Structure 1
Amino acid sequence: MLSSYQESIAIFLGVNVLMAFSVYVPTSAGLISLGQAGFMAIGAYASAYLTSRFTAFDVPFGLALFLGGAAAGIVGVLVAAPAVRIRGIYLIIATLGFGEIVRVLFVNFEPLGGASGLSGIQPLTTLSWVVAICLFFFVFLWRLRSTPLGRAFVAIHEDETAAEAMGINLFRTKLMAFGGGAFIAGIAGGLYAHFALFIDPSQFGFSKSAEAFLFVILGGSVNPLGPVAGAIVVTLLPEFLRFLQDWRMSFFAVLLIACAVWRPGGLISYRRAAHP
Structure 2
Amino acid sequence: MAKTTRRLEAPKPFLDRPPAVSGLLAPERFMKVVALVLFVAAAVLPFISASPYLISILTSAMIYVVLAMGLNVVVGYAGLLDLGFIAFMAVGAYTSGILTTTFGWSMLETIPVVVLACIVAGLVIGGPTLRLRSDYLAIVTLGFGEIIRITANNLDITGGPSGIHGIPTWSFFGWSFSDGLVLGGITFNSKILFYYFVLFVGIGLAVVAVSRLGKGKLGRAWKSVRDDEDVSEAMGINGYKTKLMAYIIGAVWGGFAGTLLAAHLSAISPNSFEFLYSALVLMAVVLGGMGSTPGVIIGALFVSLAPEFLREFSEWRYLLFGVLLVVAMIFRPKGIWPANAVLPFLKKRQIPQVPPTAVVGVVGELDDDAEEGRR
- Residue of structure 2 aligned with 1:32, choices 74, 81, 105: 81
- Residue of structure 2 aligned with 1:8, choices 47, 56, 70: 56
C-alpha deviations, 1:62-109, integer Å up to 9, x for none? 332342233123211221011110001100000000000111111111
Secondary structure of the residue that 1:33 maps to in structure 2?
coil
- What's the counterpart of residue 300 of structure 2? 231
- What's the counterpart of residue 139 of structure 2? 93
Which stretches of structure 1, 4 residues or longer, exceed 6 Å deviation after superposition?
A: none
Secondary structure of the residue that 1:172 maps to in structure 2?
helix
CA separation in 2, counterparts of 1:111 and 1:183?
22
- What's the counterpart of residue 61 of structure 1? 107
How many residues matched? 271
CA contact (8 A) 2:289 2:339 kept: no
Change (3 A) 1:97 1:122: same
CA separation in 2, counterparts of 1:90 and 1:69?
27
- What's the counterpart of residue 48 of structure 1? 97
- What's the counterpart of residue 70 of structure 2? 22
- What's the counterpart of residue 216 of structure 1? 285
Q: Larger Cα Rg: Structure 1 or Structure 2?
A: 2
CA separation in 1, counterparts of 2:70 and 2:339?
21
Change (3 A) 1:186 1:270: closer
**Matched ranges for 1:49-198 at <5 A:** 49-52=98-101, 54-55=102-103, 57-58=104-105, 60-124=106-170, 126-131=194-199, 132-198=201-267
Secondary structure of the residue that 1:208 maps to in structure 2?
helix
Whichever residue aligns with residue 282 of structure 2, its letter is F
C-alpha deviations, 1:128-170, integer Å up to 9, x for none? 2211222101001111122110000111111111111111111
Change (3 A) 1:107 1:243: closer
Q: 5+ residue gaps in structure 2?
A: 1-45, 171-176, 178-193, 344-375
Q: Higher helix share goes to which structure?
A: 1
CA contact (8 A) 1:121 1:197 kept: yes
Secondary structure of the residue that 1:111 maps to in structure 2?
coil
Secondary structure of the residue that 2:164 maps to in structure 1?
coil
The alignment's TM-score, normalised by the length of structure 2, stands at 0.69
Moved more, 117-126 or 149-158: 117-126
C-alpha deviations, 1:39-66, integer Å up to 9, x for none? 11110010112222x42x43x3233234
CA separation in 1, counterparts of 2:167 and 2:315?
33
Whichever residue aligns with residue 36 of structure 1, its letter is F
CA separation in 1, counterparts of 2:339 and 2:260?
32
Whichever residue aligns with residue 306 of structure 2, its letter is L
- What's the counterpart of residue 255 of structure 1? 324
Structure 1 residue 222: deviation in Å? 2.8
C-alpha deviations, 1:4-44, integer Å up to 9, x for none? 11111111011111121121111110101111111111100
Q: 5+ residue gaps in structure 1?
A: none
Structure 1 residue 230: deviation in Å? 0.5
Secondary structure of the residue that 2:206 maps to in structure 1?
helix
CA separation in 2, counterparts of 1:136 and 1:44?
19
> Over aligned residue pairs, what C-alpha RMSD do you find?
1.8
Whichever residue aligns with residue 294 of structure 2, its letter is L
